[in-house]
Amino acid sequence: MELLDFVTTQKRVWEAKLPLPRQVLVRDRKELDRACKKLHFPLAMKVIASAFVHKSDAKLVRTGLLDHKDTVQAYVELLRHARKADAHAAIEGLLVQEMARGTELILGVKRDPSFGPVIMAGLGGIFVEVCKDVSFRVCPITRRDAKAMLSELKGKTLLEGVRGTPKADLAGLSSIMVRLSKLALKHPEIAEIDLNPVLVDAKTIRAVDVRMLVADSGVRG
């Protein structure tokens, strides 16, 4: 399987109305300067190339960039790291995003040989890695299914507003899950979708990392 290119991935994201942070893909220093003027600090920046599936593993993500100078420095560093990781990687650009806040969730779709597309929801970070705290449903799902999936999570109190964490916009989140499940049914050429993480707080939901995989010989467009 291979990573679907950025432009096609974006098209699918818009189609399903998945909420993104304000972001710009930049290809040179001039575009970076323009992005800095357009977006609000603090910013995150990451290298986009089909060769890099797990960006942070190769030091290809920077977060919390506070000003223009910081951002230019990160740009140079990230490109250096990218060349070091794979000198021949075809880099689509550097994605500059506004920083999002809230609880980290993971939403995804995988295809099961007998059930077809299956949607997954889980809490981010250690909850998924250590606790395997995730729930699944066969696509398509209703908003009611989506709410049930979230309420099945052991770490659900994190979404309900405990000590310091705001109560998450669960209605908004459920709608997004419904649209994600429909997107998977509409596009059988997409083998896998990963929104990891989605940052959720009381008012906003932002998918800061969207990854779609297609079969190597997959039809695109």
Positions that interact with ligand ADP (CB under 6 A)? 21, 44, 46, 54-56, 61, 63, 97, 99-100, 196-197, 199, 208-209
Tell me the closest approach of the beta carbon of residue 53 to Mg ion, in angstroms: 10
Closest residue to Mg ion, Cβ-based? 209
Tell me the closest approach of the beta carbon of residue 61 to Mg ion, in angstroms: 8
Strand partners, 90: none
SS3 content of the chain, % helix, strand, coil (to 5): 35, 30, 35
Q: CB-wise, 174 or 196, nearer to ligand ADP?
A: 196
| Binding partner selected for residue 54 from Mg ion, ligand ADP, none, CB under the kind-specific 5 to 8 Å limit | ligand ADP
> How buried is residue 60: exposed, middle or buried, by Cβ count under 10 Å (0-12/13-18/19+)?
buried
Q: CB-wise, 36 or 106, nearer to Mg ion?
A: 106
Distances from the Cα of 127 to the Cαs of 94, 105, 109, 134, in angstroms? 29, 9, 18, 8
Residue 184's SS3 state is helix
Tell me the closest approach of the beta carbon of residue 199 to ligand ADP, in angstroms: 6
Q: CB-wise, 150 or 208, nearer to Mg ion?
A: 208
Task: Return residues touching Mg ion (CB under 5 A).
Answer: 196, 209
Q: CB-wise, 98 or 145, nearer to Mg ion?
A: 98
How many other CB atoms are found less than 10 A from the CB of residue 19? 18
Q: Which amino acid is at 114?
A: S
| Binding partner selected for residue 55 from Mg ion, ligand ADP, none, CB under the kind-specific 5 to 8 Å limit | ligand ADP
Q: CB-wise, 108 or 197, nearer to ligand ADP?
A: 197
Whole-angstrom distance, CA of residue 204 vs CA of residue 35: 22
